[in-house]
Amino acid sequence: MKSKAFWWVVVLALLAGNIFFGLQYFELQKELEGIKTVSSSQHYNEMVLKFVKLFIKRVIKSDKEVDFDTRLKLENAVRELDDAQILSQWQKFVNSSSEVEAQKNVKELLDILIDKVYIR
């Protein structure tokens, strides 16, 4: 009789342990998803800021016409962002027909880029 009670206690203890560790697992899964979201957001922010820095350094601060290699780097960086709104505004800037239009489009582009940066 004591042997049977002992085994029931062991089974219940194992069952309680499984329930406890199962709940811990699901809690950690939720936490991991949150961390992945934050990490993804930070990575995107870094890419946007990297593009903005490159754009300011090579285009806005430049005293001469932007060379082909720089245009290619900027185009690749903007495509890496994989954002339709940014790409659309980039195309408007690139296809500007006058300096006034280009200035208007670059202001809009920079505004969109800054709005895209997610700050916690």
The pLDDT tens digits of the residues spanning 15-29 come to 999 999 999 999 999
Per the structure, the complete domain to which residue 70 belongs is given by 2-116
pLDDT of res. 3: 87
Q: What pTM value is reported for the model?
A: 0.75
Instruction: Convert the pLDDT of each residue in 52-65 to its tens digit.
Output: 999 999 999 988 88
> What is the spatial distance between Cα 65 and Cα 59, in angstroms, rounded to a whole number?
8
pLDDT at 2: 78
Q: How many structural domains are present in the chain?
A: 1
Which stretches in the chain have pLDDT values below 50? none
Q: What is the pLDDT of residue 15?
A: 96
| 3-class SS string, 57-110 | HHHHCCCCCCCHHHHHHHHHHHHHCCCHHHHHHHHHHHCCCCHHHHHHHHHHHH
Check residue 119 and give its pLDDT: 65
- Closest by CA to 118, choosing from 52, 67, 43, is 43
Cα–Cα distance list, 51 to 20, 81, 90 (Å): 47, 9, 12
